[in-house]
Structure 1
Amino acid sequence: MTLTTAKWTLAEYHQLVETGMLDNKRVELLEGIIVEMPPEGMPHAVYCTESVQYLSILLANRAKVREGNPITLPNDSEPEPDIAIVRTPNRQYLTHHPYPADIFWLIEYANTTLRKDITEKKRVYAEAGIEEYWVVNLQTPELILFRDLASDTYQSERRLATGNISPLSFPDIQIDVTKLFTV
């Protein structure tokens, strides 16, 4: 017997959400598949929250820093990245989640999900046209930067444990890499 996975469209997924069938479930839609998300560990939650505050101060009114909220991608995906840095004003997201054109860059915190974040999610984000994607590897700790988007693939991968980095969208801002995984 061959098993076939039933794929969901964004519209069907939104209908499920509206009915409440997914309430109390930590899930996201990746390429038409509803994927269960593992619970967040304590370091993950603390570092992510601290980073949201840090980035919000650095970016001030230039961008909105959203924590753990959905984004809508054209490849039947609605992931919930740990951090999404998006265009303002925030009120525009009352009628839709941020689309790729609204997104400056995304950050995922990874411990048990590292493999998924640097393979599947990296591919989904690249195919959607997200210019810059960061993974904070809590196992090492280090920041893994994916950039130079071409042909739906990130052409460069850089790993940093210290130093400063400037996001592509805000080259005048210096982010201290260690502040992403220290308190």
Structure 2
Amino acid sequence: MNTLAKWSVDDYHSMIEAGILRDRHVELLRGEIIEMSPETPIHYATAKRSTKYLEELLSGKADVRFNGPITLSDSEPEPDIAIVRLPESLYSDRHPTPQDIFWIVEVAKTSLKKDLELKAAIYANAGIQEYWVLDLSDKQVIVFRYPQDGKYSEESAFVGGKIAPLAFADISVSVDRLLS
């Protein structure tokens, strides 16, 4: 049986710096370099609109990052949206790490299975307290909270109404605005 070589985050950064991954749309997930799915127009538009909406809601409270990498122990995914600590200058020479991250949002249509299973496990394992999946097929927001033993202990689905993120209980996020 062949064994797959696993890459460290440092290996991955070295490959990026050396230009080996130039023109490749990839991310590091659990030590494996994975090709990212091409974004459909609805995926991109939803992620961009949701980013702008969250920026309005969280102005002065958090940095809302769009399609940028985060660095975890054995992964460097590029979530559609990452809500992270201010100031933005913290990330001039590094990507956000779990202690910087309030919550992560992925937009899913063709990537739903990967986002609900693989990415949920990666984010839970990293200790990210909250993870949302905007499920474009079923028009719902799936909210994962409270990571424990590599998985989230709470999962809820919202088809309407408002969600108060754990890190900002005073903020109400409209499910309809995220999915519109």
Q: What is the SS of the residue equivalent to 1:5?
A: coil
In structure 1, distance between residues paired with 2:150 and 2:167: 19
Deviation at 1:152, TM superposition (A): 2.9
Tell me, in whole angstroms, the C-alpha distance in 2 between the residues paired with 1:148 and 1:103: 14
Q: Is the 8 A contact 2:125 2:147 kept in 1?
A: no
Residue 16 (str. 1) matches residue 7 (str. 2): no
Cα shift at 1:3: 2.4
Aligned length: 180
Structure 2 CA distance, aligned partners of 1:47 and 1:73?
25
Q: Tell me which moved more, 150-159 or 138-147.
A: 150-159
Code of the residue aligned with 1:57 in structure 2: it is E
Q: Distance in 2 between matches of 1:114 and 1:3?
A: 29
2:116 equivalent in structure 1: 118
> SS of the residue aligned with 2:167?
coil
Deviation string, structure 1 residues 120-157 (Cα, Å, up to 9, x no partner) = 00000000000000000011111000012223321111
Partner of 2:101: 103
**1:41 is matched by which residue type in structure 2?**
T
Q: Deviations over 1:69-96 (max 9, x none)?
A: 000001x100000000000111111111
User: Given the two structures, how large is their TM-score scaled by the length of structure 2?
Assistant: 0.98
**Aligned residue identity for 1:149:** P
Deviation at 1:5, TM superposition (A): 0.9
Instruction: Give the whole-Å Cα distance in 1 for the aligned partners of 2:119 and 2:70.
Output: 13
Partner of 2:140: 142
The SS at the match of 1:169 is: helix
Q: 1:178 matched to which residue of 2? A: 176
Partner of 1:38: 37
Deviation at 1:23, TM superposition (A): 1.3
Over aligned residue pairs, what C-alpha RMSD do you find?
Answer: 0.7
Please give the secondary structure, in 1, of the residue aligned with 2:86.
coil
Q: TM-score, normalised by structure 1?
A: 0.96
Q: Does 1:7 align with 2:9?
A: no
Aligned to 2:63: 64
Cα distance between partner residues in 2 of 1:47 and 1:153: 26
Percent of matched pairs sharing the same residue: 47
